[in-house]
Amino acid sequence: MAIIFLYLAVISPIISLEESWSQELARKRQLGGKYQALLASKAKVEQANKAMKTAVSQMEGQFLTGANPAVAAADLQEILKNLASNHGATLTSTKILTARDAGAYLEVPVQVQLSVTVPQLVTILYNLEHHKKFLFIPEMEVSSPRWVSGTQKETSSLQVNLVVSGIIKKGPEKKGTTS
């Protein structure tokens, strides 16, 4: 009877305690293994993060210049003016439209009206699409004069209304100021 009492009072709790410690030790080893795997992949994650930041930096190099929409719109107007004059088109008017929010960036649109021939329009559109800056054409309207018998179609001037947009990175928000 004393042996049973000794077993129940002393040995059984020690065995139970050893089993719980063994289970806890196994959980800690498993957790340690997960941490080791995370540490091993840390270098890969840092390398991927660096590559992503480099790619974003290169992409942002293709944005319009200027820290605010007004300067960026002036840059875009200059690009459009140069394209029109380089390809013999007549830029009849430009209008800066309101910048639109695009997350961490701003879309800066400029509306232009051109007087062009079909080949000039094709060339200008091609150059806008392949420009070193990210430029988009969200709107385009083409009006052609009535064709009269005996006139040449290629030399007829088209009236083109384009909205061309570029992107800039948003500047830091100023708090506590009112407009």
69-146+154-169 classified as CATH 3.30.70.60: yes
Domain layout of the chain by residue ranges: 1-60, 69-146+154-169
* Alpha helix ranges (H) inside 61-92: 69-86
- pLDDT tens for 123-134 read 999 999 999 988
Beta bridge partners, 100, equal 107
Q: Name which of 91, 168, 167, 179 is nearest 135 in CA terms.
A: 167
**Range with lowest mean pLDDT among 10-24, 29-43, 61-75, 82-96:** 10-24
For the residues 113-131, what does the mean pLDDT come to?
A: 92
